[in-house]
């Protein structure tokens, strides 16, 4: 009887398999090491902005406050909100490895724990709750490419790491990052655990997405898998940012890529008198593969380049020059990101590992006020955020309009440290505008005389 039963079962299986197309490949599902979804903390945030409408604010907790922890950020949530921000991006919040360590926050010892340097899970939740109550969302920095050498995965799952011919775990090849160990993305179990760990924070801390560090390192198909899984968390709208310039990252489903190339071009415009017109080319090339409102995040500083290259004041002509650069960065194309401290004109570099100096929030209230005016106007102008771009600049001047549903805005910014007479293109001649910063009426003739590093933001 048993023999007949198994024969019948075998025939049924063979018959079912014979109906599969010859080209179908069935990949076995390998469960993650942890397969229990944590319970949801709090209520998922219902006002996560659309891709085009974000203003991102990067928090480096070690330098942000005297406390250098979550509580120091909580204390300034109102100030961050007042700047016109709706997305707070926290640099890595996880325990830092000690083996071969240089105290980098990007050397993750445990993907599902909070670094006690910054506080507790309860503190993180309070920060997220506070941001949500002020209509801001919170995204975490995610380090997928590598871990610390004392991450528990190394001893429990050595095969989750890239190894040399002798079976030794290696650092990321060719990068010089000797404090971290390279993960092996051909291992499906590692990938599933990594994705589960990302999901953990969506539920355990109610966060609203991730900025994915060194996104050009892990293979594209990993990100496709991870983002597809995250998008299937039906209770949450998530923003996912690739810290990479690989435009194929758009195809994997990222909302944003990083404007590395834009930042590099902006530096050469200031340092080497390169034509401002090259930004128009960048507006095309950086957006290759972008669809459905996918955006490039543009900036004049962040935690990496602030330490290595200099502050915006150093790179872009002091107070006036750096503001002229920021106007183009925030208004022309893409989504702006502000690095903590730039809005008060912090005059020193915040250098790795970010523990030596703290931001003085009493500095330069006039610079803070200017950042607020620019970003708050952006937040109230649909044309500025989503409008059709028309560029009219020349080798020295960035000039453009953006238009949407009857609203039209004009931005003119002199990126040179000299007086420039700008011949207005025909569509802008003999037009009347309202200065968006002062409310004054402006009548254009046939040219504008622009003082060094001056700018105009106007609306109709």
Buried b (16+ CB within 10 A) or exposed e, 362-399: eebeebbebbeebbebbbebebbbbbeeebbbeebbbb
CA nearest to 328, candidates 402, 424, 273: 402
Domains of the chain: 51-386 (3.20.20.80), 397-459 (2.60.40.1180)
Using alpha carbons only, what angle is made at residue 288 by residues 286 and 291, rounded to the nearest 5 degrees? 110
3-class SS at 417? coil
Largest CA distance in the chain: 98
Task: Give the torsion sign (CA, 99, 104, 107, 113).
Answer: positive
pLDDT of 35 reads 57
pTM of the model: 0.91
Given this model, what pLDDT does residue 34 score? 55
Distance CA 178, CA 331 (A): 39
- Residue 33 has what pLDDT? 54
> Which pLDDT does position 314 carry in this prediction?
98
| Per-residue pLDDT reduced to its tens digit, 307-362 | 999 999 999 999 999 999 999 999 999 999 999 999 999 999 999 999 999 999 99
Q: What is the pLDDT of residues 28-62, one digit of tens each?
A: 344 455 557 789 999 999 999 999 999 999 999 99
Q: Using alpha carbons, list the distances in angstroms from residue 127 to 77, 85, 118, 153, 262.
A: 8, 15, 11, 29, 32
What are residue 442's DSSP bridge partners? 433
Question: What span, in angstroms and rounded, lies between the C-alpha atoms of 59 and 73?
Answer: 8
Task: List all residues 6 or more positions away from 200 whose beta carbon is below 8 Å from its beta carbon.
Answer: 38, 111, 112
Could you state, in chain order, the average pLDDT of each consecutive group of 10 residues for the chain (460 residues)?
A: 38 38 37 68 98 98 98 98 98 98 98 98 98 98 98 98 98 97 98 98 98 98 98 97 97 98 98 97 96 98 98 98 98 98 98 97 98 97 97 97 97 98 96 96 96 98
**CA-to-CA distance for 397 and 267, rounded, in angstroms?**
15
pLDDT of residue 38: 82
The residues near 32 (Cβ < 8 Å, ≥ 6 apart) are 189, 192, 193, 195, 196
DSSP per position, 279-296: HHHHHHHTTTT--TT-EE
Looking up tokens 């004041």 gives 313
């Amino acid at each position: 009887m048993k023999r007949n039963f198994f024969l019948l079962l075998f025939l049924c299986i063979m018959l079912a398999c014979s109906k599969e197309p010859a080209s179908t490949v069935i990949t076995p599902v390998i469960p993650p090491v942890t397969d229990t979804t944590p319970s949801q903390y709090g209520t998922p945030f219902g006002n996560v902005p659309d891709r085009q409408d974000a203003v991102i604010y990067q928090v480096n907790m070690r330098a942000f406050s005297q406390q250098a922890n979550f509580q120091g950020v909580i204390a300034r949530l109102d100030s961050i909100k007042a700047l016109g921000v709706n997305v707070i991006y926290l640099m890595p919040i996880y325990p830092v490895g000690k083996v071969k360590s240089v105290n980098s926050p990007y050397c993750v010892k445990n993907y599902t724990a909070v670094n006690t340097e910054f506080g507790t899970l309860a503190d993180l939740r309070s920060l997220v709750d506070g941001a949500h109550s002020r209509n801001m969302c919170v995204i975490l920095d995610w380090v997928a490419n590598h871990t610390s050498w004392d991450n528990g995965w190394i001893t429990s799952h050595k095969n989750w790491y890239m190894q040399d011919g002798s079976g030794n775990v290696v650092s990321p090849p060719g990068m010089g990052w000797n404090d971290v160990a390279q993960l092996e993305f051909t291992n499906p179990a590692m990938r599933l655990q990594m994705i589960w760990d990302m999901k953990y924070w969506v539920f355990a801390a109610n966060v609203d997405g991730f900025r994915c560090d060194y996104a050009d390192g892990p293979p594209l198909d990993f990100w496709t898998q991870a983002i597809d899984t995250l998008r299937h968390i039906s209770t949450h709208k998530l923003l996912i940012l690739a810290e990479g310039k690989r435009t194929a990252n758009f195809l994997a489903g990222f909302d944003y890529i990083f404007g590395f190339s834009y930042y590099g071009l902006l530096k050469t415009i200031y340092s080497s008198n390169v034509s401002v017109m090259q930004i128009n080319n960048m507006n095309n090339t950086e957006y290759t593969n972008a669809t459905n409102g996918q955006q490039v995040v543009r900036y004049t500083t962040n935690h990496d380049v602030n330490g290595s290259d200099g502050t915006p004041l150093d790179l872009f002509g002091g107070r006036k020059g750096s503001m002229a650069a920021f106007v183009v960065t925030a208004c022309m194309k893409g989504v702006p990101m502000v690095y903590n401290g730039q809005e008060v004109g912090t005059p020193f570099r915040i250098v790795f590992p970010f523990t030596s100096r703290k931001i003085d929030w009493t500095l330069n209230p006039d610079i803070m006020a200017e950042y607020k005016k620019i970003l708050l106007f952006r937040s109230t102008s649909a044309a500025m955020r989503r409008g059709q771009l028309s560029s009219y600049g020349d080798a020295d001047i960035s000039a453009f309009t953006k238009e949407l549903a009857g609203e039209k805005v004009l931005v003119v910014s002199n990126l040179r440290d000299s007086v420039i007479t700008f011949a207005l293109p025909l569509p802008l001649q003999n037009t009347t505008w309202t200065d968006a910063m002062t409310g004054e009426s402006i009548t254009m003739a046939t040219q504008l005389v622009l003082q060094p590093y001056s700018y105009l933001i106007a609306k109709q």
